[in-house]
Amino acid sequence: MLLLIILKEIRNNILTLRFAVIYGLLFLVTVLSMAILSANYRTQQENYAQAKQRQHEIFSSMENLDDLRHQGAMVQKAPSEMTPFSMGLEKEMSRSLTVSGRRGIEVGAGQYTNPVSALFSTPDLSYIVNVVISLLALLLTFDTICGEKENGTLRLMLANSVPRHTILVGKWLGGYLALAVPFLLAVGVGLLVSLLVTGSTPAPDSWMRAGGLVMLSLLYISVFFTLGVLISTFNRRSSTALMASLFVWVVIVVTIPNVVPILARQIVGIPSSGVMSERREAVENEQWRNIRKQMRAASTDSQRRQIRDQTKENVSGELEQIQNDYRGKIDAQIELAEVLSRVSPSASFVYAATNLSGTGVKDFRNLSDYAEKSYGSQFRSVVDEFRRGERRRSSRGQQRKVEDTIGTTAFDVGRLPEFRPPTESFERSLQRSMLDVGLLGIFNIAFVLVGYIKFMRYDVCE
């Protein structure tokens, strides 16, 4: 009997005009999205290679260390293969970073220069699942129970002594398969198109991440499918169930994920960039005002050099403390926003999807830490070493003349560090996603239990 109910539910779904329209939209959007974003990824790869070549040419044209210290190196992260699946914070992570011998990390323009793209969300696969398919799941299930009641078929099934839990399970499985299988087909075609467009074979790690995202999507779709069945058991009329489904979707997918970050900013306030700039400038001005008095009182060059070095160290320490306090408040704001927004399965899905794709908040922070602490320190250390070598040659009367060495630089370009941000393994990304995966499972179980209890008491005679 269960198999008959499943087959009946599948047949009732795939033979309707509503299903044809929904699946046609799903297939078209999925394939086009992956094709467009794959073409964009290929373009970003070309731009990245050109940027690296330009930077090497700039290094080769520098004739002294002052140019290197002042101009620094402009670097950027290699584009991610996972952008067709989940863009996440890739737009921010792809911004160019300038590291110089005197200044800290300066964030420049990103690879995404079209301002119109900033007005709209990127239609990657995770966006399609989060917004489009969640709505389609509710549109397919809002009348699962109340629609059968209005047609009188629910009373006929119960009159044939079919257990209610068998009806509920059969309708859920049949309806879910009618949506999940076409979704997998659309993703498969989209992946094939993506491979043809990029002309490259993804790394094994990317295949595992893509598989993880597909499995996560199926779990997320089941949450909204179960929610739609639950809403149907709470209503007697299909029209009322449709309005309730749309209202719940707006609250869960649109309202909560967008309102909670604003609320978190109000609760945990952080200084603006202008205020932070004023604080840093005030610290530097105060320290350098004090050094002038000490420099005038110093009697030897070694004492002046020691005072200058000590002042630089003091300024660096105070600036680092200000930056750490600022980042601490940002971390607290992010943590609060994540905790509050997880009351919505939509937020849990986005967090898990971006973690699996390597474009989440933690990945963004790891990139920033690497650029500021690891790469910046390595770059400045090499520049300082170049400077010390230049001073030694100068003191020995061996300072080379650039005019006699045309086509070469005043330093060894090959010794400059290469910008290679570390990437987490798929296993580590999966581990960080388990909280949100577990929450999606809890949502599923809760909706199933409530829907089951409500259906056991559902009056088909009213």
Read off the tokens for 166: 């068998």
Neighbours of 234 (CB within 10 A): 16
pLDDT for the residue 231: 94
* pLDDT tens track for 13-26: 788 887 888 888 88
Half-sphere exposure in the Cβ direction for 45 (13 Å, CA): 14
Going by pLDDT thresholds of 50, 70 and 90, the confidence category of residue 112 is low
Distance between alpha carbon 461 and the CA centroid of its chain, in Å?
50
Q: In the predicted model, what is the mean pLDDT of residues 104-129?
A: 69
Helix residue ranges, H only, 128-203: 134-141, 146-151, 153-159, 164-198
Burial class of 289 by CB neighbour count within 10 A (0 to 12, 13 to 18, 19+) = exposed
* Residues in CB range of 326: below 8 A, 6 or more apart: 270, 271, 276
Q: In the predicted model, what is the mean pLDDT of residues 320-332?
A: 80
Going by pLDDT thresholds of 50, 70 and 90, the confidence category of residue 117 is low
* Residues in CB range of 426: below 8 A, 6 or more apart: 205, 208, 209, 212, 356
Neighbours of 24 (CB within 10 A): 11
pLDDT score of 116 more than 60: no
Q: In the predicted model, what is the mean pLDDT of residues 42-59?
A: 84
pLDDT for the residue 408: 45
- Best mean pLDDT range from 120-134, 231-245, 358-372: 231-245
pLDDT for the residue 118: 60
* pLDDT tens track for 399-415: 444 334 334 455 677 77
Alpha carbon distances (Å) from 327 to 248, 266, 276, 342: 35, 17, 11, 22
Contact 307, 296 (CB under 8 A): no
| More confidently predicted of 164 and 274 | 164
- The SS3 call for residue 111 is coil
Q: DSSP labels for 227-243?
A: HHHHHHHT-SSHHHHHH
pLDDT for the residue 404: 40
* Least trusted range by pLDDT, from 71-80, 238-247, 304-313, 335-344: 304-313
pLDDT score of 36 more than 60: yes
* pLDDT tens track for 128-146: 999 999 998 998 888 888 8
Read off the tokens for 208: 């595992």
pLDDT for the residue 109: 59
Going by pLDDT thresholds of 50, 70 and 90, the confidence category of residue 377 is confident
Which CB contacts under 8 angstroms, 24+ apart, belong to 284-292?
A: 284/315, 284/319, 287/311, 287/314, 287/315, 287/318, 288/315
Distance between alpha carbon 7 and the CA centroid of its chain, in Å?
39
* Residues in CB range of 340: below 8 A, 6 or more apart: 260, 263, 264
Going by pLDDT thresholds of 50, 70 and 90, the confidence category of residue 443 is very high
pLDDT score of 108 more than 60: yes
| More confidently predicted of 34 and 415 | 34
Q: What integer best gives the mean pLDDT of the chain?
A: 82
Q: In the predicted model, what is the mean pLDDT of residues 313-339?
A: 81
Read off the tokens for 278: 């004023």
Distance CA 248, CA 345 (A): 12
Side by side, the strands of the sheet bearing 97-99 are 73-75, 97-99, 106-107
In sequence order, what are the beta bridge partners of 75?
Answer: 97
Contact 257, 353 (CB under 8 A): no
pLDDT for the residue 113: 55
Altogether, the residues listed in the chain come to a count of: 462
pLDDT score of 282 more than 70: yes
Q: In the predicted model, what is the mean pLDDT of residues 102-118?
A: 60
Of all residues in the chain, the percent with pLDDT exceeding 70 is: 87
pLDDT score of 187 more than 80: yes
Structural domain spans, the chain: 2-456
DSSP H or E stretch at residue 106: strand 106-107
Residue type for 234, please?
Answer: F
